[in-house]
Amino acid sequence: MHGYGFLFLISVLLAGCSRSTNDVDAQIRAAQRASIFGATATWKLSDANWSAATPAMRDVAYRFCIERHGGDRTCFNEQDYSLIAANHAETNARRAIRSGSSAPFFDAIRARPAAFDDARRYCFSVYRDAGAQDARLLGPCLSSATGSDFFAIIPVP
């Protein structure tokens, strides 16, 4: 009986050393409220099927930042910017396919609409293979599929 008491004491001590889910959830909510990008409800998201999951993807991405980077604000901002950019890339591709935009870099998307679908499939497969926690790769990946320069290294017309 004495051994069970010791095991119970160790369990209680170990439980006290780890963050509770409620603490992390509260940290996520606080970080999102403090975000320079605001609440996802104010984001202009694409009408793509995956875009409806953006708020949940953001929650997971913020949890990733807390667990891997101690809640570094830079990580939060990069997650937000990437998710917004990914949604804008989707919106731009859909717009290019539906309408006759005069932007020459959309000609390729109009000529081969399935190419953007292939790029989206690739970007999300890499995201899922990496654990679907860190959304920072989605923005650059989908932006490049529409001819954008995510990092603003090369000016895009």
- In 3D space, the residue among 78, 57, 81 whose CA is nearest the CA of residue 133 turns out to be 57
Q: What is the pTM of this model?
A: 0.80
What is the percent of the chain where pLDDT is above 90?
55
How is residue 93 written in tokens?
């591709």
Confidence at residue 8, expressed as pLDDT on a 0 to 100 scale: 42
Per 3-state DSSP, the chain is made up of helix, strand and coil in percentages (nearest 5) of: 75, 0, 25
Confidence at residue 125, expressed as pLDDT on a 0 to 100 scale: 98
CA torsion, ordered 101, 106, 111, 114, to nearest 10 deg: -120
The one-letter amino acid code at 127 reads Y
Instruction: Give per-residue pLDDT as tens, 71-108.
Output: 899 999 999 999 999 999 998 888 888 876 667 777 88
Confidence at residue 150, expressed as pLDDT on a 0 to 100 scale: 78
How is residue 57 written in tokens?
């993807």
Q: In a 3-state reduction of DSSP, which class is residue 134?
A: coil
Instruction: Give per-residue pLDDT as tens, 95-149.
Output: 888 876 667 777 888 888 899 999 999 999 999 999 999 999 999 999 988 888 7
